[in-house]
Amino acid sequence: MKELPPAEIVVLKGGWLTTVQDLGRYGYQHDGVSVSGAMDSFSTIVANRLVGNSDQAAVLECTLKGPELLFEQETVIAITGADLSPTVNGASVPTWQSFVISRGSRLSFGPPQSGCRAYLAIAGGIDVPLVLGSRSTHYASETGGLQGRPLQQGDALRGGNPGPFINRQIGAELPDALRPRYGHAATLHITPGPQVDCFGEQSIRMMMSSDYTVSPQSDRMGYRLAGTKIARKGLDQFISDGTAMGALQVPPDGQPILLMADRQTTGGYPKIAVVISGDLPFAAQLVPGDRIRFAQCSVAEARATMRRQRADLDAALPPHVQQLRSDGTRSQ
């Protein structure tokens, strides 16, 4: 296969919510800037590795109903995460595997089969400007991505330069044993939150033994959960403090909120628990109506889970070494 030029893509349909995302905008929460980034970091990293990109390269996050894209240059792509029935020129294409998409081809998505968010990586990444060190879209503040908003009809996207060994990536796939299975229920492991002392033992036991449903009032900022109310020991107020993805806040109505990628930088509701990093990709694939059950986990167990997941991924799909451009900056 000849050397590939940067991808050129025309958006024919934007889908329900398709945004440019990478692994997040870190280091600015003290200035009120949301971390944002991909909801499912595992699927994002896998998609990038399948096409020879660095883990941090920008991808498209497609929510439930994906976009329709016209590729004006031949390139290599990979689709991971949710199964949104991807097709090229009407023919089904694989997920969790890289393949060549020819010049003039149309990539479309059909009805969702499992999960909520699919990730489309393009060899060379998606070339949009860096804003505070990230290409991620935070549409509430119109920051990053493509003009700070979801894709819409008529948009044009351009890729970065594919790596020098892109031919070796064609047909690369994630082993079946490492591919996540998405259902309509998930068990999320949690560690104690910074304000767990605001809640009595009875409230914690009830939360651990109850099912919660993801409500329709859920988005990239957070999931409002419906289920057994979590009662506080008192109504004492405290100073707002920083938030983390996976934190479980409990507002006065007792219905917990699971904070996600576009969360606010600080919050004034007590945080009873935090979902471990290893389970957040599964949380990212839940849709309204899906059920959540919580399970206790120690910090040591959470770290061990993350190390094991990363070791398994690195063994199957090693990370790619970033290339230096002529101006001394690193490629995607």
192-240 pLDDT, tens digit each: 999 999 999 999 999 999 999 999 999 999 999 999 999 988 766 778 8
Whether the predicted pLDDT of 331 surpasses 50 = no
Higher pLDDT, 331 or 55: 55
Give the model's pLDDT for residue 70: 98
Show Cβ contacts of residue 101 under 8 Å, excluding neighbours closer than 6 positions: 71, 74, 75, 76, 77, 88, 107
pTM, rounded to two decimals: 0.94
The superfamily (CATH) of domain 185-311 is: Cyclophilin-like (2.40.100.10)
CB 283 within 8 A of CB 246: yes
Give the model's pLDDT for residue 322: 54
278-317 pLDDT, tens digit each: 999 999 999 999 999 999 999 999 999 999 999 999 999 9
Show Cβ contacts of residue 48 under 8 Å, excluding neighbours closer than 6 positions: 54, 55, 56, 57, 59, 121, 125, 320
Give the model's pLDDT for residue 324: 34
Q: Give CA separation, 303 vs 1, 18, 37, 308, 309, in Å.
A: 42, 32, 22, 9, 10
Helix, strand, or coil (residue 277): helix
Average confidence (pLDDT) over 8-36: 96
Whether the predicted pLDDT of 242 surpasses 60 = yes
Angle of helix 41-50 versus helix 299-316 axis, rounded to 10: 20
Domain ranges (residues) in the chain:
8-174, 185-311
Mean pLDDT of the chain: 93
Show Cβ contacts of residue 243 under 8 Å, excluding neighbours closer than 6 positions: 249, 259, 263, 264, 265, 266, 267, 271
Give the model's pLDDT for residue 165: 76
Reading the block at residue 218, the tokens are 């859920």
Whether the predicted pLDDT of 170 surpasses 60 = yes
Reading the block at residue 292, the tokens are 């959540």
123-155 pLDDT, tens digit each: 999 999 999 999 999 999 999 999 999 999 999
90-111 pLDDT, tens digit each: 999 999 999 999 999 999 999 9
Q: What is the spatial order of strands in the sheet that 86-88 belongs to?
A: 91-92, 86-88, 106-109, 68-71, 8-13, 156-158
